[in-house]
């Protein structure tokens, strides 16, 4: 068995590019919804806090400067969190769509596992990118421990595309 796995790059096929475009669109909508919700909460939380201070009898509970400073702090935190999450996840998918390159890695089967609960077949691999893959029954019975399996994943986002 080889100590180092063989990797090479290929251009993405059209259906793989379409898969990435759909995934990017879906995730972009989720980021927009999350940021919208966080933006609303950034204004609701200081308002609720003001009512809580008023209930406790604090003087000047509905302070306008305190409200806007609290809202600005919450907006900054939530905006930074959404932007960093975008940079780590969604931007990589967008780079993969632009470059249209995938990585093919030759991995070896370490263990085979059948799950009777949902009638699914899994192969455990020695890859650093994908530890296990779900395969069809005929591939499960055809492959044995130590056999080579080529797995495909996107270059930047490391999204699993399939095996052969």
Are 88 and 130 in the same domain? no
For residue 139, give the CATH number of its domain.
Answer: 2.40.50
Q: Are 123 and 143 in contact (CB under 8 A)?
A: yes
Distance separating alpha carbons of residues 89 and 80, to the nearest angstrom: 14
Identify the band that residue 62 occupies on the pLDDT scale cut at 50, 70 and 90.
confident
Are 114 and 66 in the same domain? no
> Structural domain of residue 138, as residue ranges?
102-163
Number of domains in the chain: 2
Are 22 and 82 in the same domain? yes
Residue where a domain stops, chosen among 46, 81, 99: 99
Write the pLDDT tens digit of every residue in 116-154. Answer: 898 899 999 988 888 889 999 888 889 888 888 999 989
Residue 159 lies in a domain: yes
Which burial class, exposed, middle or buried, applies to 17 when counting CB atoms under 10 A from its CB (0-12, 13-18, 19+)? middle
- Whole-model pTM: value is 0.71
Are 64 and 42 in the same domain? yes
Write the pLDDT tens digit of every residue in 77-106. Answer: 998 998 898 888 889 999 999 999 998 988
Residue 7 lies in a domain: no
């Amino acid at each position: 068995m080889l100590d180092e796995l063989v990797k090479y790059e290929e251009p993405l096929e059209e259906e793989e590019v379409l898969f990435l475009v759909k995934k990017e669109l879906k995730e972009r909508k989720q980021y927009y919804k999350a940021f919208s919700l966080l933006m609303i909460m950034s204004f609701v939380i200081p308002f609720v806090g003001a009512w809580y201070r008023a209930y406790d009898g604090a003087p000047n509970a509905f302070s306008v400067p305190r409200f806007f400073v609290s809202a600005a702090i919450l907006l900054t935190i939530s905006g930074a969190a959404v932007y960093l999450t975008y940079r780590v996840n969604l931007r990589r998918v967008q780079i993969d769509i632009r470059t249209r390159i995938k990585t093919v890695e030759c991995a070896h089967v370490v263990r085979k596992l059948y799950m009777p609960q949902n009638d699914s077949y899994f192969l455990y691999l020695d890859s650093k990118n994908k530890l296990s893959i779900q395969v069809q029954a005929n591939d499960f019975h055809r492959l044995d421990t130590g056999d080579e399996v080529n797995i495909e994943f996107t270059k930047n986002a490391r999204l699993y595309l399939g095996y052969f």
